């Protein structure tokens, strides 16, 4: 861990103690040894009078965007949190302390390279919403259209980089210390988090995400996506159509508008499975602060999506295997779940499939004793992955966003309608998509798409076949292998060779020095030091260098 990361870790500890979280966290014993810092540095103003939820929220706000994002994720799981904590963390979704509106105006003018009045008839310096990465201001164009402008927070890049540096350092420690780090892959997991956060800092990319999502759902009666105004969008700002609706977390407002909560919850589940398995492009940050519900047609609710910084996609192979995993769970086909984990390459091929099948059955069967309305698909999937890790499951970083989003969606749906039967809603959606994407009609479409290319390359096949046979007869085939594991093996082998040479030289010098000392023959002096002592010192240095890389690798 470098000095910058260590300093950041100290700051995190200081903030936790200043907000007296050592008194309210279940893991209080981890923080109490640091409570002397509160005496030295003082506690946050008013912390003693705050409830535990407010203390936690304020501490996360002070620690920065990564911690605020963590609090936002937690806030969607009311089924796991005490109500007072969930209520406070919910404020992180769009009510983080704002930065001055005058700074937002200056940033917009700097990005557009012109006074704000040149492009907007009005600009409200009081933000509509303020979150961990950016805040939103209302504006009006000269043609009268209402828009909103999303602006990045000042110096947000530097704050994110500090937290990422700490995460990278902790991942490095975990990779060296954990017994099965090659399966958990902490550095790759942090790299996935880093990639996601960096994408959130590029608002041009976020606008492109919103534009694609809008195209996917244009004309839908289940979700609406506002239009992006590209001439007034830059890397640090987005201008988009202003939309109106009821915030998803305003349950009283939704009831007053007559919204059907059961249909709303069912719609949320359908939207998730359709985005993942039909479009392979899903909103991965769909907390209530990023969603409005249209006031029109409350009996047939319409979602309005906002904030497109975190969107998820899956490799086509993983998408298909995951869809089949869900279908196998619906039918309790544990053998197929085990086969899919092996076929996907998520775990080594030498694992006995009957052992894995039995382990999956042991996880799933207790769930199926409950009513279907009480079963969480996300929890079952996570339990299966947890059991599979005992059979050397390799963590798939590309599935992290999906797992988080699935749990968020289910938590949201259960908040809206606790008795919702997730299985009966998800199963027909997924079955229809599977038939459409992987059935006979899909295979015929794929054949028609590829056939022209095959016909174009057909004349080359006889020549290539003749060349292959000719090389086989002449013994001219070469095996070419490219693999990160092979490269690591080469590096380790070369390192081992160097260590061996150094160890032999070091041991030899130590033996010579020992013989000279044994016969009281210190040898000629160099700068007043007996030669035997010099040989011993040089041998010790080389022996130490031979062992040093091995210690680093542990």
Which pLDDT score, from 0 to 100, does residue 28 have? Answer: 42
The predicted pLDDT at position 345 comes to 77
295-344 confidence digits (pLDDT tens): 998 999 999 998 898 888 888 888 888 888 888 888 888 899 888 888 88
Give 130-150 pLDDT, tens digit per residue.
Answer: 877 889 999 999 999 999 999
Residue of 94, 285, 307, 318 marked catalytic: 285
Output 190 or 201, whichever has higher pLDDT: 201
Mean pLDDT over 414-443 rounds to 83
Whole-number CA gyration radius for the chain:
30
Classify the C-alpha dihedral 52-58-64-66 as positive or negative. Answer: positive
Q: Is the pLDDT of residue 129 over 80?
A: yes
For the chain, domain boundaries = 3-88, 157-196, 246-445, 488-553
Q: Would you say residue 535 has pLDDT above 60?
A: no
pTM for the full predicted model: 0.67
pLDDT number for residue 482: 55
3-state DSSP helix/strand/coil percent for the chain, to nearest 5?
65, 10, 30
* pLDDT confidence band for 51 (50 / 70 / 90): confident
Whether the per-residue pLDDT at 522 is higher than 50: the answer is no
pLDDT at 432 over 60: yes
Averaged confidence pLDDT in the chain: 76
DSSP assignments along 216-268, one per residue: HTTT-SSEE-PPB-GGG-BTTEEEEE----EETT-HHHHHHTT--HHHHHHHH
The pLDDT tens digits for 67-83 are 776 676 666 556 556 77
Residue 542 has pLDDT above 80, yes or no: no
**Burial classification of residue 402, based on how many CB atoms lie within 10 Å of its CB (0-12 exposed, 13-18 middle, 19 or more buried):** buried
Could you tell me if 497 and 487 are in contact, meaning their C-beta atoms sit under 8 angstroms apart?
Answer: no
Structure tokens at 553: 């690798």
Contacting residues for 135 by C-beta, under 8 A, at least 6 apart: 96, 98, 99, 104, 127, 129, 150, 151, 153
Residue identified by tokens 């390359």 is 457
Segment 267-286, tens digit of pLDDT: 999 999 999 999 999 988 77
Q: Give the Cα-Cα-Cα angle 394, 396, 400 (nearest 5 degrees).
A: 135
Q: Is 285 a catalytic residue?
A: yes
Q: What is the mean pLDDT of residues 248-277?
A: 92
Of residues 197 and 357, the one with the higher pLDDT is 357
């Amino acid at each position: 861990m470098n000095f910058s990361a260590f300093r950041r870790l100290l700051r995190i500890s200081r903030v936790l103690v200043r907000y007296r979280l050592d008194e309210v966290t279940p893991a209080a014993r981890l923080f109490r040894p640091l409570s002397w810092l509160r005496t030295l540095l003082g506690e946050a103003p008013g912390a003693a009078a705050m409830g535990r939820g407010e203390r936690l929220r304020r501490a996360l706000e002070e620690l920065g965007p990564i911690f605020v994002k963590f609090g936002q994720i937690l806030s969607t799981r009311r089924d796991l949190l005490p109500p007072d904590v969930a209520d406070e963390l919910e404020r992180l979704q769009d009510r983080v302390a704002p930065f001055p509106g005058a700074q937002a105006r200056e940033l917009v003018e700097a990005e557009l390279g012109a006074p704000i009045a040149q492009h907007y008839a009005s600009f409200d310096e009081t933000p509509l919403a303020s979150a961990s990465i950016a805040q939103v201001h209302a504006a009006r164009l000269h043609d009268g259209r209402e828009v909103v402008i999303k602006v990045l927070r000042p110096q947000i890049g530097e704050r994110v980089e500090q937290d990422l540096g700490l995460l990278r350092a902790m991942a490095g420690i975990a990779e060296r210390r954990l017994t099965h780090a090659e399966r958990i892959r902490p550095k790759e997991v942090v790299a996935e988090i880093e990639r996601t956060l960096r994408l959130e800092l590029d608002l041009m990319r976020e606008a492109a995400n919103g534009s694609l999502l809008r195209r996917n759902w244009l004309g839908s009666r289940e979700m609406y996506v506002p239009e992006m105004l590209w001439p007034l969008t830059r890397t640090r700002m987005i201008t988009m159509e202003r939309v109106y609706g009821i915030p998803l977390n305003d349950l009283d407002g939704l009831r007053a508008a007559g919204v059907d909560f059961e249909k709303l919850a069912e719609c949320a589940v359908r939207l998730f499975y359709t985005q993942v398995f039909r479009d392979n492009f899903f909103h991965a940050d769909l907390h209530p602060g990023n969603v409005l519900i249209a006031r029109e047609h409350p009996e047939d609710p319409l979602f309005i999506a906002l904030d497109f910084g975190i969107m998820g996609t899956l490799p086509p192979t993983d998408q298909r295997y995951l869809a089949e995993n869900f279908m196998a769970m619906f039918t309790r086909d544990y053998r197929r779940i085990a086969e899919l984990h092996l076929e996907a390459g998520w775990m080594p091929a030498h694992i006995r499939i009957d052992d894995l099948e039995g382990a999956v059955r042991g996880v799933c069967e207790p769930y199926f004793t409950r009513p279907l309305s009480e079963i969480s698909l996300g929890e079952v999937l996570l339990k299966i992955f947890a059991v599979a890790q005992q059979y050397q499951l390799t963590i798939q970083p590309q599935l992290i966003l999906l797992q988080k989003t699935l749990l968020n969606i289910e938590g949201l749906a259960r908040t809206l309608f606790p008795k919702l039967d997730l299985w009966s809603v998800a199963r027909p959606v997924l079955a229809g998509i599977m038939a459409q994407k992987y059935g006979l009609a899909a295979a015929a479409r794929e054949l028609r798409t590829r056939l022209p290319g095959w016909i174009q390359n057909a004349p080359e096949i006889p020549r290539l076949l003749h060349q292959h046979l000719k090389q086989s007869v002449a013994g001219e085939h070469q095996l070419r292998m490219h693999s990160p594991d092979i490269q690591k093996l080469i590096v380790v082998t070369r390192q081992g060779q160097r260590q061996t040479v150094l160890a032999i030289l070091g041991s030899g010098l130590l033996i010579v020095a020992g013989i000279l000392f044994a016969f009281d023959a210190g040898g000629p002096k160099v700068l007043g030091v007996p030669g035997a002592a010099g040989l011993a010192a040089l041998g010790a240095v080389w022996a130490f260098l031979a062992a040093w890389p091995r210690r680093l690798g542990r």
